[in-house]
A and B are shown apart, each in its own frame.
Chain A
Amino acid sequence: MEKPQLEKASALGYADPHIDELLKHSIRTQLESLLKSKVTTEQRVQLLQKSFVEAMTLVLSDTQVTHQQLVKAFENMYDQAVQSMALADLSQEVLTRQYISATGLVMSVHNCKHTIKDVYRIKGYARGIDQAIRGKLKNNSTITILYPACGPFAPLLLPLLSYYKNSQTFDSQQIKVILVDVQPGAVMTLKQLIKDLQLDDYILQIAEADATQFTPDVAIDLLVLEAMQHGFTKEGQLSIAKHLVKFLNIDGWMIPQNVSVKGMMVIGETEFNQQWKNVEYSHSMNVNNQAQQDRVELGEILRINKSTLLAMDELELQDGVRVISANQIVLPTDVDDMSKRILAIYAHIDTFAEESVGQYDSGITNPKPDMTFYVDLKPREVEHTHFVASSGDTVQFYYQLSGLTGFVPVKI
C-alpha cells in the first residue's frame, strides 16, 4: 500500500486552516470518513471516479434499479465530490456569497453543492443528454456542449463524462464542453473536480461569467439548461435560455427540449401533506390518485422550448421591470370549494426524447404554492401584492425576467 501523502492528508484534516470552518462543519462526516480510511491521494481520486461512474451506470441502465440503490450511489457521489471541494481552497466569502442579480437569484456554492444529490433531476437529464449526444455524434465527429450556470459540480455532465471515459464510449475528441458559472467558488471547485476526475481533455473552457451575458467563441450543438427552482421562479433560467439559444447551431438542441409550466388550484392540506403520508418518498410515480383527482387544473401558463424562446418578445414596464407575456387562463366556475384552494405552479421538464423530470421528481418540479393568489376570497388584509379574482375571470400571466423572476397574474 502506498504511504499516504502527508501534505494531502493534512489538507483534509480538521486542523488545516485552508478548509473554511463553515465548509468543514457542513461536510465533517465526509472529512472524518476520509481521515479514518487513511486513503492515499490516488485512492481518493479513484473512489471519486468510481462513485461518478457507478451513479451513471445505474442511471443509464435499462434494468430495474431501486430508489435505495440510486440514493446510495448519489450520496456516495456527493461524499466524494465535496472532498474535491474541500481541496479547492475556497474562502468563506466565495463559498457563501448569494445574491439576486438583475436577472435572478444566484445561489451560493455552499447551497448549490447539494444539487448533485437530486437523484431524479440528474437521472432525467443525464438519460436525455446521453441520447442527445449519441444522436448528434451519429452525424458529427465532434460536438460542443454548453452548460451555463453549472454550479460547482456540473452534475448533469461531469458524471456522464466520467462514465463515457471509463466505458470508452466517447472520447475527448468527440465531446467538447464549455462550463460557465458566475460564482468564483464554483469555478475553483470545478477546476479541482475536473482535475480529480481526469476529465480535462473534455473541457474546452471553464468561464467565470454571467450566463446571461456570456458569448461562446464556437457554435453550440447542445445547450444544457438547468438553473431553476420550483414553480419556475427565482433564478434567471429564462434570461439565460433566451440569451444562449441564439448561439445554438441551426440543428442544435436545447436540453430540456421542452418545459411546460402549469397552474392548478389545490387544497393545500391534500396536495402537500395528505398525499405524501403513506409513501416513502415524493416522486411522480408515488402521487396519490385521489389527490390528483381533487386538483383543479388551470392549464399551461408557459411553454419554453427553442421555438418559443426565439419568438419571445420582451416588454419593459415603467419601473424598468422586463416581462414576457405568458398564457391566459379562465378560472373555472363549477368548483364549489374554490375559496379554500390555493394556486400552485409546477413544471414538467421533457429533457430529451422520452426522458423527463416530472412533478415531484425533483426540487425543481415540485409544485410551488402561491399564497398571494386569491379566488372567490378576500384576504383578511388586502396588500398590494395580493391578487384577488373570482371564478369565471380571465387571468393573463406574465413572466417577470427582472430581479426575482416568477409569474405575475393580471386580471383581464
Chain B
Amino acid sequence: MNRYAVFTGSCLSLPAIEYLHKANLLACVVLPDGEPNSDLLQLQQWLKHQQIAVLGYSNKDDQQLIASLDGLQAQKGMVYLFRHKIRKDLIQYFNQELVNIHPSHLPDYRGPQPLYWQIRNGETTTALTIHKVAEELDSGDIGYRVDIDIHPFETIKCLHQKVAQTLPYLVSNFIQLDKEHKLAWHKQPSGGNKLAPAIEHVDLFIDWFKHSTHEIVNMARAGNADMTCAVFRFSQSTFQLIQASKVDCTLSGIKPGTIIELDKSVGLIIKTSDGAVKLDIIGTQQGCFDGYRFAMLFALDPGMELESGAGNDFRY
C-alpha cells in the first residue's frame, strides 16, 4: 500500500494527517527545520501522543531524510503549510508522487501567504488546489481542486480554519480518484498576475492617500488580531486596526486620513480617498477598544489627521 509522508509545520494540517492516519495511509510527518513556534510545538505534542512517526527536514541536505522516508516506505508525499522549498533530490525521490496543497486558484496567488492576500484583495472565493511539486514554487501540474467561498467577514484565522476543515474532503477525494486513475493532471494556465509574497512590515501600514476604503477594510480583515494586523499611525504612535467598515460619505474638500466624525452610536469615521471608513475595533498596548472609546481615551477629535507612511518632518 502506498503511504504518505506529510510535510507540514502547522496544526492546521491536522485534519489531513488525522484522515490519512485513520485510513492507514500515513507513513510519517516531516517537520520543518529551525526554531519551533508555538504552533509547531503543539503539532509535535499531538504527533507524539498519537505515536506517529516524525522526521526532521534539514536545511543542509536531503540524503538522510530520503533514507528515513525509504525506511518508512513513504512513497507518496503531501506538502501543506511547510516553510521550506522542496529541493530537487527529494522531488526525484517521490517520482511525480509528491503533491502540494496550495490554497488558491493557481496560478493566482503563488507564494507563501495566499490566504492573506486573497482576503486583502477582496476575493470572494478561494480554492484548495493539489498540484505536483516542481522545482519552481507553486507551478506544477494541477490534479484536483475544491472551491471554497470566502465570507465577507472572514479573517485570516477564520479562513485558515475553514480551509483546514475542507482538507479531509479534499484528500479523500484526491486519493480515491488517484486510486481509480481518474485524476486529470493538467498544466497550470498561463497568467497568474496576482501574487502572494511574504508580508513585509511596511505592507501593514495604512496609507490613507493610496488605499481605497475597500482596501483598508480588507487590510484590517486579513490581518485582524494576527501578526499581520493592519496598522495606522497617529501622533507618532502606532495602533492596530482590527476591524473596519465602509461608510458612505459625500463630503468634499477633506484630506484622506482626516477624522470626520466621532459619535457614540456612529463611531469613529475617517475620510478615505474614495469615501469614508469606520474604525470598528482598534488594538493598543492598553487593550482593544471600539473607535469611540479609543478616540475619547487617546484624545482624537474630528478635524485631526491620521498619518500616512513615515512622514517625519525635521524643520520644527
- Interface residue ranges, A against B (CB under 8 Å): 22, 92-93, 96-102, 105-106, 108, 111, 234, 268-269, 272, 319-322, 340, 342, 369, 371, 377, 379-381, 383-385, 400-405
Contact = CB atoms under 8 A, between A and B. Distances in A.
B263 A371 contact: no
Residue among B251, B252, B253, B266 with most chain A CB within 10 A = B253
A98 B262 CA distance: 5
Interface in B262-316: 262-266, 269, 292, 296, 301-303, 308-316
Contacts of A402: 251-253
A381 B310 contact: yes
A405 B258 CA distance: 12
20 contacts: A92-B264, A93-B265, A96-B296, A98-B263, A99-B262, A100-B251, A100-B258, A100-B303, A272-B316, A321-B253, A369-B316, A371-B313, A380-B312, A381-B309, A385-B209, A400-B253, A402-B253, A403-B251, A404-B258, A404-B303
B263 A93 contact: yes
Contacts of A98: 261-263, 301-302
The 5 closest A-B pairs by CB, nearest first: A403-B253, A268-B316, A402-B253, A403-B254, A99-B261
Contacts of A320: 252-253
B255 A404 contact: yes
Residue among B263, B266, B312, B316 with most chain A CB within 10 A = B316
Contacts of B163: none
A93 B313 CA distance: 37
A380 to B, nearest CB: 7
A377 B313 CA distance: 12
A264 B27 CA distance: 78
A371 B302 contact: no
Contacts of A101: 251
B209 to A, nearest CB: 7
A322 B251 CA distance: 11
Residue among B262, B292, B308 with most chain A CB within 10 A = B262
Contacts, number: 86
Chain B contact residues: helix, strand, loop or mixed: loop
A93 B251 contact: no
A366 to B, nearest CB: 15
Contacts of A400: 253
Given A385-B255, A404-B255, A97 B264 contact: yes
Contacts of A93: 263-265
A340 B309 CA distance: 23
B263 A96 contact: yes
Nearest to A101: B251
Contacts of B258: 100, 404
B263 A99 contact: yes
B260 interface: yes
Contacts of B269: 99
Nearest to A402: B253
A403 B252 contact: yes
B315 A268 contact: yes
Given A22-B296, A342-B315, A108 B262 contact: yes
A371 B315 contact: yes
A404 B262 contact: no
Contacts of A106: 302
Given A100-B254, A321-B252, A342-B316, A105 B262 contact: no
A110 to B, nearest CB: 9
B303 A340 contact: no
A106 B251 CA distance: 14
Contacts of B260: 99-100
B291 to A, nearest CB: 12
Nearest to A369: B316
Given A321-B252, A381-B309, A400-B253, 13 more contacts: A92-B264, A93-B263, A96-B263, A96-B264, A96-B292, A98-B263, A99-B263, A99-B302, A100-B251, A100-B260, A369-B316, A379-B313, A380-B312
A105 B251 contact: no
A115 to B, nearest CB: 15
Contacts of A321: 252-253
A264 B143 CA distance: 71
A371 B316 CA distance: 8
Contact of A102 (B209, B251, B263, B314): B251
A111 B308 CA distance: 26
A127 B55 CA distance: 88
Contacts of A108: 262, 301
A106 B263 CA distance: 12
A4 B50 CA distance: 76
A362 to B, nearest CB: 18
Nearest to A235: B303
